[in-house]
Each structure stands twice: as structure tokens, then as C-alpha cells.
Amino acid sequence: IATERAGRLVFGIGIDANIRREALPLELRPIATSILEETGRETDLARLEEELVRELERRLSPEGDGGRGQADEAWRCLVKSCL
């Protein structure tokens, strides 16, 4: 979900990290997973947050795409709700 507020784009990402499938709501069990379920290991949530933010910054910066402007175009599309 993305919204624009005061000239800023605000969006949220949900990541199931340290949750077992049986702890999920029944209707989500067939389609949802978690890092724990996929790897068999618990995730350090602080490290996950740090790496996620670093990767988002890298991918969404103009420098992160070799200067081709793809990140800028992706942001324009998000703001225009064309993604």
C-alpha cells in the first residue's frame, strides 16, 4: 500500500520472518510462508531490517541502476499508481 503525504511517498512491506506456518491464519497457510519456514533458521530481525533498507536504497537510487534512470521511473510509476 502506498500513499503520498506532504510530497513524500509512504509505503509498507510485510515480511513474515520468524513465524511457523501453523501460527498463520488458516486461510493464509496454503499461500503464505516465512523466512523461518523456507530456511529452517530464525532470522535476526535487526539485521533483516538493516539489509532490507540498504538494498532498497541501492535499488531505488539513480546510481543503483547504472545511471539508467530506471529507479526514478519506478518511483514516478508508483506515485502515478501505474505499477
- Residues 34-49 have pLDDT tens digits of 999 999 999 999 999 9
Would you place residue 56 in the very low, low, confident or very high pLDDT band (cuts 50, 70, 90)? confident
Rounded to 5 degrees, φ, ψ at 7 are: 75, 10
Contact between residue 61 and residue 75 where contact means Cβ atoms under 8 Å apart:
no
Residue type for position 2: A
The answer to whether the predicted template modeling score (pTM) of the entire model surpasses 0.75 is: no
Residue type for position 6: A
pLDDT at 53: 86
Examine the pLDDT at 17 and tell me if it is beyond 80.
yes
For residues 21-46, average pLDDT: 94
